[in-house]
Amino acid sequence: MKYKNSIKLSVTLFLFLFFTAGLSAQSVKLKIVETSDVHGAIFPYDFVNEREANASLSQVQTYLNIERAKKDQHVLLFDAGDMLQGTPVVYYYNFEKTDVPHVYASVMNFMKYDLATIGNHDIETGHPVYDRFKNEINFPWLAANAINTNNGETYFQPYQMFEIDGVKIAVLGMITPAIPKWLPPKIWSGIEFLDMVETAQKWVPVISEKENPDILIGLFHSGVEYDYAGQEETTYKNENAAALVAEKVPGFDVVFVGHDHHGWNKTVINSEGKEVWIIGPKANARDLAISNIELNYNPDSGKWNKKISGETVEVDQFQPDEEFLAAFNDSFNEVQKFVARPIGTFTETISSRDALFGPSAFVDLIHNIQLELTGADVSFTAPLSLNSKIDSGEVNVRDMFKLYRYENQLYTYRLTGQEIKDYLEYSYSRWFNEMKNESDNLLMFTRDESGNVKFSNRMNAPELAYRYYNFDSAAGIDYVVDVSKPIGSRVEIISMSNGDKFDLSAKYKVAVNSYRGSGGGGHLTEGSKIPADKLSERLLDSTDKDLRYYMMKWIEEKGTVEPFSFNNWKVMPKNWWENGKAKDYKLMYDNK
């Protein structure tokens, strides 16, 4: 009996010594590759402008093939959301070709994604699209702060565990909670979006106790700059809370980010004085965000020593993967046919460049369609591109993506005349500079400490103080914008465009897109001063489908469209406007 016990003891001791000896020398290398905000950039081709593109998932695949072939590392592939809007490819499979698996799901499965977090532009496609997509992908889709209101559980999986060569890796996913500010409720019905910091404070202890991970990673569809758009560190449900989570909630080693299209590779110090990496790509598959992690087992402590670094890799240095292109060639050809379908004829060329400086046929075409579709008294809209042009002649489906980039629904609201004026005051306070003289800039730019206009590498243009897609003008009313006057007292509404009196106390039907109607940009909440929780009470009607769909139908019914400008508003003083426009046009477009 003693002999048998001795054998058992010896075997146990041998296995223990063998195992610990192996661990003492064990080293594990991880390369975690993140894409984010790809916005449907599957192919190295621009379907809207009919030209080759130098960034796509087909090139990401080439990079992955190289890295996965290396024997001394393990590669994990993550995505941080915003994949299902942005190109005709995903639009086609979102709304037109719905009887087959979504091409983006097939692409992600082909590329062997390990994990993804959902983004706000994925939610914007609507329940039928993202619920179907969730069932077609071969990996978890995360969002710990998206709660199913029917049962109190998470609508998407909150976190995912991986174990590689004895290393336990936990990944917590979250989405920006600002979605109800931008999107109509029926798009996210049954989901509540919680504050990211509070959600992390709940889940990190749960993960730590239940899973005891060696590495904790955040995969967040949220930006880094918490003070964006006037928010503060303490702003509840902050849109860009990724860095706040890294700093305020101890435990994270790496936080992958997205949403802001900025590109990040830096460290922050958390509340326990430990370093946390913040890493994220820009957008449209232009680059990859990568965390390189080397782990060495310490037998004395029984823990892994971690050495972490971050990098970004530009995708344009890689050729498209031929196997990838062959696998999805049929989808490519289908989308080509879809965008090439003729829908009508334009008698004039229109350009979004004009819309940046005053009345334009480009924006007024949208106004015209919105007024006709809704029967509204007033229409609000903004240019959704800085540099789009639709040539005269045959107009195809692809041109609708130049005219209107996003899948917004069309709302009809009830606003008072005063609220309409306040809305416009707010819009022009972010659009036009308060000009001091005729030599001043018309547009409001961001300036450095010396007062010089900053340049945006992201936009390849001077940096506007606010986003151009929030530069709303109005149709249905005649008005003047005096840029020599202080912000808040610039707009004078003269009359309705049909000659009727405009009354500040009267109520009017107003057409706006769903982004604006849900509070996006702040025009209704900060400008018109309507409380966010009261916006729904003003909603009179909504389209069932996105506005671009109705635009296509509208043009098809007209057959031939004569684009024109209502010229219902003007900027004063006239010579200041003309000089400022000429000056800023050169600044914005001479390098394009």
Question: Which helix (H) or strand (E) covers residue 580, if one does?
Answer: helix 574-589
pLDDT of 447? 93
Q: Give me the CATH number covering residue 217.
A: 3.60.21.10
The pLDDT of residue 371 is above 90: yes
Residue ranges in 519-562 assigned as alpha helix (H): 535-538, 547-558
For the cut 60, the answer to whether the pLDDT of residue 153 exceeds it is yes
In a domain, 280, yes or no: yes
User: Does residue 111 fall inside a structural domain?
Assistant: yes
Indicate if 355 and 226 belong to the same structural domain.
no
Neighbours of 440 (CB within 10 A): 16
SS3 content of the chain, % helix, strand, coil (to 5): 35, 25, 40
Find the mean pLDDT for residues 378-391: 95
Give the pLDDT confidence of 223-269 residue by residue, as tens digits: 999 998 778 999 999 999 999 999 999 999 999 999 999 999 999 99
User: Considering 335, 355, 385, which residue would you say is the last residue of a domain?
Assistant: 335
Query: How many structural domains are present in the chain?
Result: 2
Model confidence over 173-212: pLDDT tens digits? Answer: 999 999 998 888 889 999 999 999 999 999 999 999 999 9
Which of the listed residues 335, 359, 391 is the one where a domain comes to its end?
A: 335
Peptide bond into 573 cis (omega under 30): yes
11 in any annotated domain: no
Same domain, 186 and 329: yes
Query: Does the pLDDT at position 7 exceed 60?
Result: no
Same structural domain for residues 326 and 369? Answer: no
Whether the upstream peptide bond of residue 213 has omega within 30° of 0, thus cis, is no
**Residues β-bridged to residue 560:** 345
pLDDT tier at 1, thresholds 50, 70, 90: very low
List, for residues 89-122, the tens digit of each pLDDT value: 999 999 999 999 999 999 999 999 999 999 999 9
Supply the DSSP string of 234-282, one letter for each residue: T-TT-TT-HHHHHHHSTT-SEEE--SS---EEEEEE-TTS-EEEEEE--
Note the pLDDT tens digit of each residue in 569-578. Answer: 999 999 999 9
Q: 490, 571 in Cβ contact below 8 A?
A: no
Residue 352 shares a structural domain with residue 312: no
Q: State phi, psi for 317 to the nearest 5 degrees.
A: -80, -5
In a domain, 18, yes or no: no
pLDDT higher for 7 or 113? 113
Q: Which of 524, 504, 525 has the alpha carbon at shortest distance from 418?
A: 504
Q: Is residue 539 part of a domain?
A: yes
Tell me the β-bridge partners of 95: none
Q: What percent of the chain has pLDDT over 90?
A: 89
In a domain, 7, yes or no: no
Query: How high is the pLDDT of residue 16?
Result: 44
Examine the domain organization and report whether 71 and 136 are in the same domain.
yes
pLDDT at residue 424 tops 90: yes
Dihedral sign computed on CA atoms, order 436, 440, 446, 452: negative
Lowest mean pLDDT among 16-25, 93-102, 374-383, 395-404: 16-25
**Chain centroid offset of residue 45 CA:** 20
Give me the pLDDT at residue 18, please: 41
- Between CA 180 and CA 237 the distance in angstroms is 11
**Both 89 and 207 in a single domain?**
yes
Whether 379 and 463 map to the same domain: the answer is: yes
**pLDDT tens per residue, range 280-337:** 999 999 999 999 999 999 999 999 999 999 999 999 999 999 999 999 999 999 999 9
Q: What is the pTM of this model?
A: 0.88
What residues are paired with 215 via a beta bridge? Answer: 169
Instruction: Indicate whether 227 and 276 sit together in one domain.
Output: yes
Domain that holds residue 149: 26-335
CATH number, residue 361: 3.90.780.10
* Three-state SS at 24: helix
> Could you tell me where the DSSP H helices lie in 344-416?
352-355, 361-374, 397-403
Q: Would you say residue 409 has pLDDT above 50? A: yes
Task: Give the three-class secondary structure for 517.
Answer: helix
pLDDT of 592? 60
Look up tokens 């106390």; give the residue: 505
Instruction: Say whether pLDDT at 2 is over 70.
Output: no
Q: Both 313 and 345 in a single domain? A: no
Residues with Cβ within 8 Å of 437's Cβ and at least 6 positions away in sequence, in order, are: 576
Structure confidence at residue 15 (pLDDT): 42
User: Region 344-352: what's the mean pLDDT?
Assistant: 97
Task: Among 335, 351, 371, give the residue marking a domain's end.
Answer: 335
* 147 CA to centre of own chain: 21
The answer to whether position 149 is within a domain reads yes
The helix/strand/coil state of 216 is strand
Per-residue pLDDT for 508 more than 90? Answer: yes
In a domain, 8, yes or no: no
Q: Are 77 and 181 in a shared domain? A: yes
Residue 219: which pLDDT band, with cuts at 50, 70 and 90? very high
Q: In whole angstroms, what is the distance from residue 199 CA to residue 238 CA?
A: 12
233 and 362 both lie in a single domain? no
Residues 326 and 350 in one domain: no
Q: How far apart are CA 549 and CA 343, in angstroms?
A: 12
Position 323 scores a pLDDT of 98
- What is the per-residue pLDDT across 521-564, written as a single tens digit (0 to 9) for each? 999 999 999 998 899 899 999 998 889 999 999 999 999 999 99
Q: What backbone phi and psi angles, to 5 degrees, belong to 273?
A: 80, 15
Q: What integer pLDDT is reported at residue 184 of this predicted model?
A: 86
- Quick one: what percent of the chain has pLDDT higher than 70? 95
* 9 pLDDT higher than 70: no
